[in-house]
Chain A
Amino acid sequence: MKEVVVISGKGGTGKTSLAASFASLACASAGLVLADCDVDAPDLHLLLHPEVRETQEFRASRKASIDAAACTGCGLCQAHCRFDAIRELQVDPLSCEGCGVCERICPAGAVTVKEELLGRWYVSDTRCGPMVHACMEPGEENSGRLVSVVRRRARELAQERRADLIITDGPPGIGCPVISALSGADLAVVVTEPSLSGAHDLARVLDVSRHFGVPAVACTNRYDLHPEGAEAIEAECGARGVPVVGRIPYDPVMTEAIVRGKPVVEFTDAEVTGAIRKVWERILVYLCSGAEPSLLKRDG
């Protein structure tokens, strides 16, 4: 079983559109499980229309609360909170990290730290295979842990169903949700765009994948908006030994496909579809170098 995660550093480069397209291309020849690990702002379900089979609550965030009746107003909790989460003996739940210092230091036993609902995660069916996805409550923390839960469930499902492949739609950035989505995966597909921001963020996210020992390949979306930029990005990838698996042209049909709620490869036969198909074939080559050539049956 192989796990490929689509990330980008910069947001809005086309991760989800490509992940859904890869899913559509892959499911014809391989047993597939999908995971949407962008739990802050998940969008894959808008293209794959999962039917939810199982809903789970995710409770991990811990928040302090002060029992005003028991509180003597000594202020120790406030003095020891490193996160400025207690002011005038009121807990600000958005600043509270749930570390529990206040609970332990309170001489009156007035502070308790309770688990709170942080988000929900779902196991669903799509026509491309089962999908695990999640959604955070707005403004919550610990999204990295929710990502870990989603990935673990996706791996279990893949084992149960003897699936060959997990395709993960990852979050933007380089912080905890990205690290959770990336670590231990077989291949990172970095989707970038030929802007200065895209190039800058690509370099950072490639550093992260190297840091965690995950091999990466890159592809440039909307390359023709700034061809010199695309070349610079490919040169940067070359210098780092990161294979470039293709270029995808700019085409407003990508947006139309989103509006219609379909992976772009199912929506059109335009040039972009051919380009995405090629990208996926080359991803499979890197993913399967030396192992499980069955994945390549149809495409290679």
Chain B
Amino acid sequence: MGAGGISGPRISVPRTPGPGLRTWAHATFGYRSSLGSPWQAGRSYGVVALRKGMTIAVASGKGGTGKTTVATNLALAIAAQHPVQFLDCDVEEPNAHLFLKPRIERTLAVEIPVPSVDRERCTYCGTCADVCAQHAVGVFPGQVLIFAELCHGCGACALFCPEGAITEVGRPVGVVEAGRADQLAFAHGRLNVGEAFAPPVVRAVKKEARDHGIVIIDVAPGTSCPVVEALKGVDFCLLVTEPTPFGLHDLKLMVGVVEKLGIPAALVINRADMGDAGVWTFCRQKRIPVLMEIPQNRRIAESYARGIPLVRTDGEWAGRFAVLFRRIRALVEGPGSRNGLRGSGCERSSGDQR
């Protein structure tokens, strides 16, 4: 990530896009990881045997359902058998480090490119303000105002300034911290307080993803852009919910997201012995597999409160999370995955399975 980007050349409009074109975006917040684009997510259709790794996202829609509990315990339960990397992509409120206690070895600043105007060259023509979709530039006679916190870094102002008066400078919006927690490789992002725009930090965390082994991604709650950014290109999404009307309502929204992205998904039901039967009924209707149920009990809640992973409290949980992983792998790599839960419709797909 780059210092090189900050002083990088101003973008000129090439007649032909050469493969060597390296813009600010690709240096700074480009997303060219091995994860690929969502439309390549379907590659596990045909090339399972060639894949070296598997990326599993853990998401929920509703907050506080146990995403981080499931993600961290899953990672710890299989770390002895597999090379595992944990990426905490809930950059607004990253919590996995509280359980995994990683040793941070590297800290990278995440910057987005924002305009800087050369007042000598500027003619106050207003083109930059016209092309800015985020209304981050205002031009008045003799004055250009840049609202950097609104800027998404698209580069339009610099690209279309007829005077070449705009260069781009990096503005820090967060950090990525990477290191190790025993056998686990670990990275998480932290959005700076007061910053609104999380996706660049999520992208920067995902750039840390290795192209081999198991990558486990902890996703933010909600269903909007930071969630989509974290889910793009993953092989599988494990949804975590609780069996209440709130959990069910938000689960339905989240299923809408994974269907739209074409990511196969299955469910973990946390606090499974409380609430009502709505979540199970929904899963039956949609044919979403329920891979694990975690009971509501005080001991689990207390160990969570103290930041102690479940798998460290007793061996039974280590075994259960190892089973959960085998079930996920069977769904992703097994024969069922070709017509399995993939795509727009857990419902259609599992129908094929039968």
Interface residues of A (CB under 8 A from B): 8-13, 16, 40-41, 43, 46, 62, 74-76, 78-84, 87, 90, 92, 94-95, 97-101, 104-105, 135-136, 138-144, 171-179, 193-198, 200-201, 204-205, 207-208, 211-212, 222, 225-226, 229, 250, 252, 255, 258-259, 261
Contact = CB atoms under 8 A, between A and B. Distances in A.
Contact of A79 (B17, B250, B305): B17
B305 A75 contact: no
Interface string B192-222: 0111111000000000000000000000111
B232 A173 contact: no
Contacts, number: 239
Contact of B30 (A79, A84, A175, A198): A84
Q: Is the interface of B mostly helix, strand, loop or mixed?
A: loop
Contacts of A175: 92, 191, 195-198, 226
Given A41-B62, A139-B228, A201-B93, A229 B256 contact: no
Nearest to B133: A99
A264 to B, nearest CB: 13
B16 interface: yes
A104 B156 CA distance: 9
B49 interface: no
Given A11-B221, A16-B246, A101 B62 contact: no
Nearest to A42: B249
Contacts of B133: 62, 97-100
6 contacts: A12-B64, A76-B13, A83-B31, A101-B131, A177-B224, A229-B306
Contacts of B245: 43, 46, 258-259, 261
Given A11-B63, A138-B257, A41 B154 contact: no
Contacts of A212: 194
A229 B193 contact: no
B330 interface: no
B53 interface: no
Nearest to B153: A82
Given A141-B224, A229-B305, A79 B61 contact: no
A201 B68 CA distance: 13
Contacts of B220: 173
A13 B64 contact: yes
Contacts of B92: 172-175, 178, 204
Contact of B193 (A97, A174, A176, A198): A174
Given A62-B133, A105-B159, A200-B93, A99 B232 contact: no
A247 to B, nearest CB: 14
- Which 9 residue pairs spanning A and B have beta carbons closest together? A11-B63, A12-B64, A79-B17, A99-B154, A138-B256, A40-B222, A82-B25, A176-B196, A226-B305
Interface in B228-260: 228, 232, 244-246, 249-250, 253-254, 256-257, 259-260
